Amino acid sequence: MIEEAKTWQARSLEAVYPIVWFDALVVKVRENNRVINKAIHLALGVNLTGTKELLGLWIAQAEGAKFWLGVLTELKNRGVQDVLIACIDGLSGFAEAIETVYPETRVQLCMVHLVRNSLRYVCYKHRKEVAADLKLIYTAATEIEAELNLELFAEKWDTHYPTISKSWRNHWLQVIPMFVFPQDIRRAIYTTNAIESVNMTLRKVTRNHRIFPNDEAVLKVVYLAIRNIAKKWTMPIKDWKPALNRFAIEFEGRLPV
């Protein structure tokens, strides 16, 4: 199984991915007679047919520009020549690494991560309503409408959860680049729940292992889960054709004819 996982990790990839999301979850691993936290980093792409594809996973204790440079260089060596939009979580050194390896890629703060981090503060009975009100912000037609909806959110929820609106304001300059895109592309960026469903599935399987004996054990468990998830990805994401046409216009000359 380990060899199969390593072969999967080294496989050739497509030349262009319109969108790639980067995500991570933390597990406990025994190393040198002590237990440490390590992150499992994932890259989830949407290819030109609109089908979701996990490009790889990387297990690391620390991250930074050097680590991300290694990840992105690996993707390039495996055939990925261009990524149109990279959705990231504002991790240290990540944006700089992307600019080095893929200088034309547009970097966008991932809405899934921002919403997930916001809901950490919310009690169960409010979660659905808060999530719906946050959605009004990032699905707004314009940046001005989004700012107004953020103000309305703050008026409604700051009494209970003041940290949420503060966090969104702190990240606002990383949110607003999305509003330059046409609606078709924006929907493709924020409506797919693929990265969240992958994260939830992996949390379930890793939760059964309080402490992994080594990195290979992590790789084996996560790879098996990923293999099962990928079997379900047979259809394009919703409304992919109009989104792809918009990508061709917005990123003229970067999609194969």
Higher pLDDT, 15 or 230: 15
Residue 10 lies in a domain: yes
Domain extent for 32: 1-109
Over range 217-235, report the average pLDDT. Answer: 89
The answer to whether the beta carbons of residues 15 and 82 sit under 8 Å apart is yes
How confident is the model at residue 181, as a pLDDT? 84
% residues pLDDT > 70 (the chain): 97
How confident is the model at residue 177, as a pLDDT? 83
The yes-or-no verdict on residue 191 having pLDDT over 70 is: no
The yes-or-no verdict on residue 97 having pLDDT over 70 is: yes
How confident is the model at residue 153, as a pLDDT? 97
The yes-or-no verdict on residue 75 having pLDDT over 70 is: yes
Residue 220 lies in a domain: no
Q: Name the pLDDT band for 72 (thresholds 50, 70, 90).
A: very high
Residue 168 lies in a domain: no
Higher pLDDT, 1 or 102: 102
Residue 7 lies in a domain: yes
How confident is the model at residue 193, as a pLDDT? 65
How confident is the model at residue 195, as a pLDDT? 77
CATH of the domain at 102: 3.30.420.10
Residue 16 lies in a domain: yes
How confident is the model at residue 164, as a pLDDT? 96
The yes-or-no verdict on residue 198 having pLDDT over 60 is: yes
- Rounded Cα distance between 1 and 222, Å, is 11
When the pLDDT of each residue in the chain is averaged and rounded to a whole number, the result is 89
How confident is the model at residue 66, as a pLDDT? 85
* Tokens 């390039």 belong to residue: 76
Over range 203-218, report the average pLDDT. Answer: 87
Neighbours of 137 (CB within 10 A): 23
Residue 17 lies in a domain: yes
Q: pTM of the full predicted structure?
A: 0.86
The yes-or-no verdict on residue 53 having pLDDT over 70 is: yes
Residue 75 lies in a domain: yes
Residue 186 lies in a domain: no
Count of domains forming the chain: 1
How confident is the model at residue 91, as a pLDDT? 65
How confident is the model at residue 44, as a pLDDT? 94
- Rounded Cα distance between 221 and 209, Å, is 9
How confident is the model at residue 92, as a pLDDT? 66
Which of 45-54, 198-207, 227-236 holds the top average pLDDT?
45-54
The yes-or-no verdict on residue 102 having pLDDT over 90 is: yes
